[in-house]
Structure 1
Amino acid sequence: MAEKKTAPQTLEDPGDAALKAMARMQAADPGSAARMYMAWFEGMGEIGREAAQFAAERIAEDVKTQHAILHCRNPAELMQIQREFLQRALDQYVAEGGKLVQMGNEILEEAVAKSRQ
């Protein structure tokens, strides 16, 4: 029995598909794309501000921890300071990651809604 040969399938790059969709939307209503872009850029600015604020808060935590380490009196106290620092950092990074994902979802929803106005 002869083997059946099929032509290789090519998958469309998701980025290309998104660009094509944007081009179609812009051609149909140039204002909708502009509204969507503005909402997107404003939202990305909010994410940037949030990330900068988080970084500043984490630096403050680092300084506070360094101060505590410099003033600790024994290895057990040092280990406790480090353990608390790591736990607090983990909790804060997880919370911030969730917050940024939520912000990204909200930005996307708003941008799509503005493109339909």
Structure 2
Amino acid sequence: MNKTTKPKTDTETGATAMTAAMKAVSPTVMHAWYDIMAESAEFVMKRLQQDMETQRAILSCKNPAELMKIQSEFYQTAMKQYSEEAAHLFKMMSEATGDALKQAQTGQARSYDDVPL
């Protein structure tokens, strides 16, 4: 009976799968990815802080009208912030894609007249 040998995985060679995948991309893409992840993390931290403040305000409500006011303000603010963040991340991703495409270009172009017929 033949013993099958299992191919080495990225973790066995000392690199995680994510590290191995990132080695395949350019530094420009890596920098853009880092910026997008940092922006996302910062947004989540700010939103969590605001969520905690809203919970404190809800727990201190003394009547239903006050509760409705706090919830209404919370949802309006959250929707505005999520929409703005989505637009901001989309812009960052678009710019990163443009930068990556510029870097991928060879800088050599053929003119229309040098194409053989």
- TM-score relative to the length of structure 1: 0.66
Question: How far apart, CA to CA, are the structure 1 residues paired with 2:90 and 2:101?
Answer: 17
Query: In the alignment, does 2:82 pair up with 1:87?
Result: no
Query: In the alignment, does 2:50 pair up with 1:37?
Result: no
1:74 to 39, 45, 63: 63
- What's 1:51 paired with? 40
Q: Could you say what secondary structure the match of 1:72 adopts?
A: coil
Question: How far apart, CA to CA, are the structure 1 residues paired with 2:26 and 2:101?
Answer: 10
RMSD, aligned CA = 1.6
Query: In the alignment, does 2:56 pair up with 1:63?
Result: no
State the Cα distance separating 1:107 from its structure 2 match: 0.4
- What's 1:21 paired with? none
Cα deviations across residues 88-109 of structure 1 (Å, max 9, x unaligned)? Answer: 0000000000000000001011
The structure, 1 or 2, with the larger RCO (C-alpha pairs under 8 Å, 6+ apart) is 1
- Which one has the bigger helix percentage? 1
Question: How far apart, CA to CA, are the structure 2 residues paired with 1:114 and 1:93?
Answer: 31
Q: How many residues align?
A: 83
Question: How far apart, CA to CA, are the structure 1 residues paired with 2:64 and 2:29?
Answer: 50
- What's 1:106 paired with? 95
Question: How far apart, CA to CA, are the structure 2 residues paired with 1:62 and 1:68?
Answer: 10
Question: How far apart, CA to CA, are the structure 2 residues paired with 1:86 and 1:61?
Answer: 11
Where in structure 2 are there 5+ consecutive unaligned residues? 1-22, 108-117
Question: How far apart, CA to CA, are the structure 2 residues paired with 1:41 and 1:93?
Answer: 25
